[in-house]
Amino acid sequence: MTDLTHPAPSLSLAEAQAIARDFFGVEGGISPLASERDQNFRIIVHGESGFVLKIVNASEPQEQSDFQTALLDHLAQHAPGLSVPRLRRARDGQALAVVEAQGGPFRARMVEWQLGEPLAKAERTLETLGDLGRVLGDLDRAMQGFIHPGALRSFEWDIRTAGEARQRLGFVTDPEKRALLTRFLDRFDAKVAPRLPGLRAAVIHNDANDWNVLVDADGSGRVAGLIDFGDALHSLLIAEVAVACAYSILDLDDPIGAAAAIVAGFHGAYPLQEQEIDVLFDLIAMRLVISVTMSAQRHDKIADNPYLSVSEAPAWALLQRLDAINPVFATAILRQACGFDAAPGSRAAIGWIRAEAKGLHSVLSQHPARMRKGLVPYGDPANPMTVASATEEPEKATAWWDEHCAREGIDLGIGPWGEERTVYTSPMFESRLVAGTRRTRHLGLDLFLPAGTKLFTPLAASVKEVVIETEALGYGCLIKLEHAPEGCPPFVSLWGHLAHEAVGRLKPGDRLEAGDLVGEMGAPAENGGWAPHLHLQLSTATGLTATEILGVGEAPYLPVWAELFPDPADFAGVPPETFHQTGRSREAIVAERKRGLLPNLSISYEEPIKFVRGDGVWLIDDRGRAYLDCFNNVCHLGHAHPDVVEALARQAGILNTNTRYLHDNIVEYAERLTATLPDDLTVASFACTGSEANSLMLRMARTHTGRDEAIVLDWAYHGTTQALIDLSPYKYKRKGGEGRKAHVFEAAIPDSYRAPVDWPVAEIASRYAERVADEIAEMKRQGRAPGLFMAESIPSVAGQVFLPEGYLKEVYAMVRAAGGLCVADEVQVGFGRVGSHWWAFELQDVVPDIVTMGKPIGNGHPMAAVVTTKEVAASFNNGMEYFNTFGGNPVSCAVGLAVLDVIERDGLRANALAMGDYLLARFRKLQERHEIIGDVRGQGLFLGIELVTDRKTKAPATEFARAVNNGARRRGVLMGTEGPHDNVLKLRPPMIFAKADADLLMEVLEETFDEVAARQ
Ligand SMILES: Cc1ncc(COP(=O)(O)O)c(C=O)c1O
């Protein structure tokens, strides 16, 4: 090993010039160059860039000198494109010449002069630093296979033995500086050194300080090359990066950002491993520790070598800055710069939380998704609440907020993750990472509710810390929980600004199950002096203590914080729409509809809702409020069902065309659909809407029977074309209708609940069937006969009316006897909604001649179908083509198949039946408490609650029904009212409706009935 105390050679210029000439055949102008332990000269040769002559310290072992030679030879061969020293051999072919001089003999080596200027004199932009990393990566990749006995040396600059710097602590006289070094040394010994033997080792340059790095002199900032391989040795690969960083980041405002540029450049050229990056921050610091302790030691020994203290003061300053930076944060920045997770497993944890969000327990007693939310104005520095909070006037801030909530109808205040805030004014928010900047980005999610609001853990957890922060505008009571759900890397949740009651109740080590109480929102006296709220934060770095977790972070590092302290919105069940509104406002849409759309288009609710997303049983509005959808029977399997979406997108990406070309989907779908129907119904045809299906049915019936006459049920609705409006009493009898046409005959709604009281119960079906017989008789009187009888299998707009048992059997028999066809309109009630059967007509044990289908058939995709018998199909085939541009296209059929698959695969008919039975039982219980509920009826998930002001007279309670409907909407549940008197609550939830959904519906119904009843 070179003895550093051994004096450097001190040849005269004339001696050096003679060596260059005599041994290496080089003549030119000579000048001295700085060197720590050797003696270097520059020789400028006319017309060439020249050479460096190095007179090696006499104490350097031969093996070291040979190692240098072998290394430079290796690079010449394996990295010809890299600008590194190139050997000029002596006249005798040797790389080293042995020269005699005072203090000698010495070995002398000559290398070509490399162009460029030292990085020390250039601007250290991130681009240049990234380029430095790349050059070092290229170099070390080229050295991968190189080894030499001289490389295996012990050397105080070897970062693996950085711990030995402790022995030099005594040379550091300032006790504060000694304490600073001790902190790094202690960390190194405890946490870093034990990991080093597991890291990759290789021959490295080991001294890419800014005097050894050359940049292009043209100002481009590109790194031109590296000089001085005198410190090369076999050590940790990552030490190469650490050394480069230690020097290149000195004096910079954002040293970690600069180090990130270097390591990212290196990683791009020669991929690093996560465990290497995990020690980088400490190794950078340890390089500085070696440097400053060596300087201190040498000051002691050789007081006047200025080279030794070149980087000393900046090194101390950087050590002080690094000491203030949490290594986890620095490492997160370095990791992310290389494309790794900011903390091990952070992306997996974030992905898991997102994927499992729907199954997490609610953090509040009412789920935040269901609440009316508004953003707290902390993003606006001039807002009175922000000002009052920053000036520690929590009561004033609370009063402003409460008043705002009352005015805007807000139940839950939200302070978003990532928000730029000015409320954080104390010195503790000065950035430790980027000099001269402040931490301004909120890294938690705030939920504002009154003090005392109970907070529950969404996931099972173990309690890690329960602490009280006493500083003003601190957290007050703060709880750290750790979650380790199966299949997810462990992560932490932090609960700040709580009431102090938690301190006595929880202690580290306690286990909480999902849904268990964490704490209560604290009042200002306990919560750090804020308007009551929860600061909820996640950390994917589980090792951070509660107070280390950064509640507010630097804006430039938001992408790092997003992985280290991810947005807890999913964890807390706050939908993304809460934070960002897109498109037009509700008011603007209403105005534009009025201006540019048919005024007959109606809008639900006096205060219309703008939905922006559907998800299963939920519809989410433009402000992130989720409504339980108990009304929309089109999204049969739930909104945006993934299987249906996938089938639709897949087929749409392949082919969509009309039915004149052959395609598998249409025949496969026809097979699958008819297989759900009774044997005689074998011929399918496809359309796009229920109205189109019914219109096609009409043409079939007319062609088959030669008649126009139709018998329909009172208050029926069958579609929007003129021909169908004529068959829809619900339309032609009401405002704008033209009344009943002569070919249309109307039979009474077979409503058992409203059957005349003098009808014996057992005869209700026959009595209502007689009404149809009356119509047939009337037709006869007029010289007519029925072409068809059409009924919804459970009349819907008529008020969820369940046909009395045996009714259709009798009716079908008499219609058929009169030569008419029997048609079941299953547009609303089909596809297994009744649970026990695929089709609601099956409840009546009949087989129609034609069945029409729509709404749920495509789970929201516009499609419809008509299925009939061979005979009717044969008559319809009268020479006129049936062409429907879109009906039966490959995409629609793929969607139809997916819907059938899901119903079958997920047992949704059985679910509908079970949930329907459960709800009916609960409705009946509600009926016991509320006299106003006259009748409860349903089968599967087709349900009705009829409200009457008097159970005897059955006078419709229309107003009450409307009030319940509106009250449920206010509470976040969608239903409808139907029936000739609009007094029947109509419920048709999706087939995936779960018991929890049913319980929520009941909770809302019960509350709403109580509320409306109390108002009566
Ligand atoms: C029973 C019934 N039949 C037919 C239709 C018409 O279907 P569409 O609106 O798809 O044309 C409807 C629509 O509400 C309906 O309820």
**Residues 948/982, Cβ–Cβ less than 8 Å:** no
Give me the torsion for CA of 265, 270, 275, 278, rounded to 10°.
-10
pLDDT of residue 5: 64
Ligand 1, atom 8, residue with closest C-alpha: 690
Higher pLDDT: 137 or 103? It is 137
Instruction: Output the CA angle 674-677-680, nearest 5 degrees.
Output: 85
Ligand 1 binding pocket includes 862 (Cβ within 6 Å):
no
pLDDT single digits (tens) 903-913: 999 999 999 99
At 202, the pLDDT band (50, 70, 90 cuts) reads very high
Backbone angles phi, psi at 291, to 5 degrees: -60, -50
Per-residue pLDDT for 415 more than 70? yes
In angstroms, rounded to a whole number, what is the distance separating the alpha carbons of residues 794 and 841? Answer: 8
> Average pLDDT, stretch 317-337?
98
pLDDT single digits (tens) 940-979: 999 999 999 999 999 999 999 999 999 999 999 999 999 9
Q: How close is the Cα of 411 to the center of ligand 1, in Å?
A: 38
Residues 6+ apart with CB under 8 A from 14: none
β-bridge partners, 223:
215
CA dihedral (193, 199, 203, 206) positive or negative: negative
**Residues 350/491, Cβ–Cβ less than 8 Å:** no
Ligand 1, atom 4, residue with closest C-alpha: 718
CA atoms lying within 13 Å on the CB side of residue 640: 8
Ligand 1 binding pocket includes 719 (Cβ within 6 Å):
yes
Ligand 1 binding pocket includes 792 (Cβ within 6 Å):
yes
pLDDT above 90 covers what percent of the chain?
93
In angstroms, rounded to a whole number, what is the distance separating the alpha carbons of residues 437 and 256? Answer: 14
Best residue among 698, 717, 942 to mutate for probing ligand 1, ranked by most atoms within 8 Å of CB: 717
In angstroms, rounded to a whole number, what is the distance separating the alpha carbons of residues 1016 and 1013? Answer: 5
Residues 6+ apart with CB under 8 A from 549: 480, 492, 494, 537, 539, 565
Higher pLDDT: 256 or 45? It is 256
In angstroms, rounded to a whole number, what is the distance separating the alpha carbons of residues 90 and 630? Answer: 92
- Please state whether beta strands 441-442 and 445-448 pair in parallel, antiparallel, or not at all (unpaired): unpaired
In angstroms, rounded to a whole number, what is the distance separating the alpha carbons of residues 771 and 745? Answer: 11
Ligand 1 binding pocket includes 291 (Cβ within 6 Å):
no
At 35, the pLDDT band (50, 70, 90 cuts) reads confident
Q: How close is the Cα of 637 to the center of ligand 1, in Å?
A: 18
Ligand 1 atom closest to the CA of 719, numbered from 1: 6
Per-residue pLDDT for 37 more than 90? no
**Residues 87/43, Cβ–Cβ less than 8 Å:** no
pLDDT of residue 825: 98
Could you tell me the pTM of the whole model?
0.89
> Average pLDDT, stretch 687-715?
98
Ligand 1 binding pocket includes 689 (Cβ within 6 Å):
yes
In residues, how long is the chain?
1016
pLDDT single digits (tens) 395-412: 999 999 999 999 999 999
> Average pLDDT, stretch 748-757?
97
> Average pLDDT, stretch 222-240?
95
257-266, 339-348, 595-604: the lowest-pLDDT one: 595-604
Ligand 1 binding pocket includes 825 (Cβ within 6 Å):
yes
DSSP, residue by residue, 134-174: HHHHHHHHHTTT---GGGS---TT-GGGGGGGGGGGGG---
In angstroms, rounded to a whole number, what is the distance separating the alpha carbons of residues 535 and 951? Answer: 52
pLDDT of residue 425: 79
Q: How close is the Cα of 717 to the center of ligand 1, in Å?
A: 7
- Please state whether beta strands 788-792 and 710-713 pair in parallel, antiparallel, or not at all (unpaired): parallel
Ligand 1, atom 9, residue with closest C-alpha: 690
Q: Among candidates 903, 831, 370, 792, which has minimal Cα distance to 633?
A: 831
List C-alpha distances in Å: 807 to 320, 749, 771, 793, 813: 90, 11, 11, 11, 10
> Average pLDDT, stretch 193-208?
97
Token duo for residue 310: 């070149």
Q: Which amino acid is at 144?
A: Q
pLDDT of residue 309: 54
Higher pLDDT: 937 or 154? It is 937
Q: How many CB atoms lie within 10 A of CB 642?
A: 12
> Average pLDDT, stretch 233-255?
97
Per-residue pLDDT for 423 more than 90? no
pLDDT of residue 3: 55
Q: How close is the Cα of 952 to the center of ligand 1, in Å?
A: 34
In angstroms, rounded to a whole number, what is the distance separating the alpha carbons of residues 358 and 142? Answer: 51
Q: What is the DSSP letter of 215?
A: E
Q: Examine residue 756 and say whether the peptide bond preceding it is cis (omega within 30 degrees of 0).
A: no
Higher pLDDT: 428 or 158? It is 158
In angstroms, rounded to a whole number, what is the distance separating the alpha carbons of residues 860 and 837? Answer: 22
Ligand 1 binding pocket includes 720 (Cβ within 6 Å):
yes
Ligand 1 atom closest to the CA of 829, numbered from 1: 1
Ligand 1 binding pocket includes 854 (Cβ within 6 Å):
yes
> Average pLDDT, stretch 500-527?
97
Q: How close is the Cα of 603 to the center of ligand 1, in Å?
A: 18
* Secondary structure of 665-708 in HEC code, one letter for each residue: HHHHHHHHHHHCCCCCCCEEEEECCHHHHHHHHHHHHHHHHCCC
CA dihedral (723, 726, 729, 734) positive or negative: positive
Q: How close is the Cα of 796 to the center of ligand 1, in Å?
A: 10
Q: How close is the Cα of 724 to the center of ligand 1, in Å?
A: 10
In angstroms, rounded to a whole number, what is the distance separating the alpha carbons of residues 263 and 277? Answer: 8
In angstroms, rounded to a whole number, what is the distance separating the alpha carbons of residues 491 and 504? Answer: 24
pLDDT single digits (tens) 277-311: 999 999 999 999 999 999 999 876 655 555 555 55
Q: How close is the Cα of 775 to the center of ligand 1, in Å?
A: 24
At 544, the pLDDT band (50, 70, 90 cuts) reads very high
pLDDT of residue 1: 46
Per-residue pLDDT for 49 more than 90? no
